[in-house]
Amino acid sequence: MELIGRRYRLRKDDSFILRKSEQGELVSRTEDFQILNVFVKTEFIELATPMSNYGMRGGMLLFQNPIMPLKDEQAARLHRSMLYIEECAGMRTHLFYRDMLLNAVQRMIIDFFDFHAALYGNETVTTPATILMEGFLQLLEQGEFREHRELTYYAERLHVTSKYLSETVKRYSGYPANHWINRYAALDISRLLRNPAVIIQDLVDMFGFSSVSHLNRYVKNQLGVNPTDMRK
């Protein structure tokens, strides 16, 4: 497998994740080579991502090495999850089709989180920019994105320029800093929207939007759906 200028060797029970901006090419294969793929739109992945900040840390490590060797039990579990997604995708007359698919994709994501955490443990990205990356992560995990979604705010807090912060984050995670700021915010909003006790105006106030229409535009841009549609 050749991916973004790097070549990897896939073995039995290996799993790998390609993101939207990446392209992979199968250079050669053995006669018994078989692969099972699941393609999920970015917007759907955002909605299905569970309430965990592991996704960003894991994503950075996956950017350095997208291959995860799995044990027999792990490979069998992932295979079941992927087949379940295929089964759910075909049940279009299901009254709760969208929720069922979200649940199925989330199950697969949680499996990947578990496999990746077991493989890497508490390992972090070991680069000269580790301190900057950790500082950026900490600010996001503290919920700063609720009031601050401007790149300049994070750059000032970390005592670097906005350009340097964005380029550093992109170099080690595959996406610029703004992507992660908005990703954290969008995931938080989507989780809150699933709580019927939270009203739209609460989110407007909590995230510092100027109006309900401003919130609607942000959610539509980030998640591809309107807030009201997410509650149906």
Classify residue 140 by burial, with Cβ atoms within 10 Å: 0-12, 13-18, 19+: buried
Task: Please report the pLDDT score of residue 205 as a whole number.
Answer: 94
Task: Please report the pLDDT score of residue 188 as a whole number.
Answer: 87
164 has a pLDDT exceeding 90: yes
232 has a pLDDT exceeding 80: no
Query: Who wins on pLDDT, 128 or 166?
Result: 166
Confidence band, pLDDT 50/70/90 cuts, at residue 219:
confident
- pLDDT, tens only, 102-148: 999 989 988 888 888 888 765 555 556 778 888 898 899 889 999 99
CA–CA separation, 176 vs 66, rounded Å?
18
Structure tokens given for 131:
């301190």
Task: Please report the pLDDT score of residue 101 as a whole number.
Answer: 93
Mean pLDDT, the chain, as a whole number?
83
Among the listed residues 74, 145, 167, the one whose alpha carbon sits nearest the alpha carbon of residue 116: 74
Task: Please report the pLDDT score of residue 62 as a whole number.
Answer: 62
The structural domains of the chain, with segments of one domain joined by +, span 2-120, 130-231
Task: Please report the pLDDT score of residue 158 as a whole number.
Answer: 95
CA–CA separation, 37 vs 17, rounded Å?
10
Residue 222 DSSP one-character state? H
Classify domain 130-231 at the CATH class level. Answer: mainly alpha
pTM for this structure? 0.61
Confidence band, pLDDT 50/70/90 cuts, at residue 72:
very high
Lowest-confidence segment of 56-60, 73-77, 96-100 by average pLDDT: 56-60
Task: Please report the pLDDT score of residue 10 as a whole number.
Answer: 81
CA–CA separation, 131 vs 127, rounded Å?
9
